[in-house]
Chain A
Amino acid sequence: MGHRVPHVTHYLTEHFADPGYTTLSGYRAQGGYETARRVLAEQSPEEVIGTLKNAGLKGRGGAGFDAGLKWSFMPRDQAGPSYLVCNADESEPGSFKDRVLMERGPHQLLEGILIPAFATGAATTFLYIRGEYAEPARILQRAIDEATAGGVLGSNVLGTGFAHQVVLVRGAGAYICGEETGLLESLEGKKGQPRRKPPYPAECGAFGRPTTVNNVETFCHVPHVFARGVDWFRSIGTEESPGTTLFGVSGHVERPGLYELPLGTRLDEIIFEHAGGVPGGRKLKAAIPGGVSMPLLPAGHLDVPMANEFLREHGSSLGTGGVIVMDETTCMVRVGCVISEFFRDESCGQCTQCREGTGWLHKLMLRIERGGGTEADLDVLEDVAGKMEGQTICAFADAAAWPVQALLRHFRSEFLEHVRAEKCPFPESFEL
């Protein structure tokens, strides 16, 4: 890649302050759709997949699977249509990046869809967006309509002869529809209950056809990889986790919000330098690195680079990059109550371990918080959480177990204080 490129390390959000960027003409004024046009006109699908694999782009929906590799699984020799699905269900508590990516850069997302659509030979992309996102859905539909009228989508994409349509589908309020096979069921007009795998979606996905599901942000990186090249992309972030991501910082910080930073940026740098640290001179007690499903880290473990290969060593994971900060007043049992209430309410109920387990975890947490718990309850919590791991149709049950296990690992003494005092010893904590 001989050409010089400016060292932009906030490429996803670079133009987000410009309201015109959401329109087709405004997007084109920044060079938008030029990359997709060039790639579709000049490269073969195999070359495109090759570039994506070399880029090492990791999925940003939570599991961090290599995007190029996933696209390479799509069969290219089958008769009949295949599909892409853009997962815009974003419901992981602490995650709000996809909403902003859709509201401020809808055409960046569409351009990011077109390139893998071409590479996998997909006829249609279903953009499945959670029902609560009415405003982003309106903005996206307008962008889709404009792009279709302007020849960017449709039977002759950007004059290249490739045909592709994007269909916006709205959910109706169910967290589990973010799990990719729950999403596929919902897309088919059914209850969003996750499917047993195999078969994997690349073999049998939406409407029985080969399908690949990716997160909104994953798609948004793609045009930049091709515009500036693999070497440039790999120069940002870490060896294993290249590129930037949108860290969403919330909870007890001075400046909550989204920060686009290279993967591998240290968690304490994100919290203290970018988000302004904990307000009111209070101390930090713990932080969750990637949405409530990810195990929390106590103060003292925050010098970790935010990339899966490092977070793994601390027993956690990047998840969706939603950083939730808790100050010293925070009662960790209340945190457990709120998180386990969420999982109890959102279990789809197919697997006994998950349906029963999430109910038990919540009941025990509440009992301990209200002062009626015993020391034996802590062991029961651990036991129930342990039995939920790795036993179920989807990873929801693991995601319900991990935060509880991490709370007990790092804050067992707080649980014991509740048991001994027979009440919550944190009167200053947030209201439950």
Chain B
Amino acid sequence: MITLIDGLSLGSIYALIALGYTMVYGIAKMLNFAHGDIIMVGAYAIMVTLAATVSPIAAIIAAIVICTILGILVEKLAYKPLRGASPLAVLITAIGVSYFLQGLAQLVFGSQPKPVGSAWKLPAIKAINDIGITTSAAVTLICGIIIMVALTLFIKYTKTGSAMLAVSEDRGAAILMGVNVNKIISITFAIGSALAAFAGMFYLFQIPNTEPTLGAMPGITAFTAAVIGGIGSIPGAMVGGVLLGVIEKFCLASPLAPYTVAIKFSLLIVILLVKPTGLLGKVVREKV
């Protein structure tokens, strides 16, 4: 039971990150390999703001604002000029952006892990702590659910949400409806990066240290989750993320613990062999 809650909580972190990968893939048709590093930037934003203000609320706001702006900027400066270029060129650029962000963090903050600050702490909640559930797991799980429900409602019931679905299904037809695709892509990067900021926040509750490569492992795991769920599918990213989180925690709690990482990634291979489009992925037809 406790392991399950821990797993669901870790899974919602993965799901939030996976949503960024999958939305960008669905709408901009590219793999944004720098997505994980947005989490890292969010973590440093929290550290710096905490040092300056000692206010966790200010730190949270700073992380969200900085990540959102960073996401929009990365898309405008690095990816937009490559619209229509070969997917390989875009992929290499994304890897370049990833190394750039990591290098920049190393330059500014050094390569050693740094504690995020003593103010970054959740209060004890006796009722749940007594049965073995940490406050951070509970907060992460509840906030994760709220954010995912909000995102789902946003996509389903707003005009911008419909436009996002339309662009992801058929960009040409969406343009014929008067949808400004560049604007929708920009919004998608903004939302994905804000979700990454939340993920970074929750991650720091579990491991309160920042380092330049902090985003790499959660990033690649979440990417795997997105592919398992069916890249491009929003519910797929949620399911894939939660699944990987739960499997990771159960593995860690079992004698298989040393093989956790291997098990996570072999799941990807197994699922792709059985269902190449991922759990909730659809076969897509190419259109002009």
- Decide whether A and B assemble into one complex: no
Residues of A within 8 A of B (CB): none
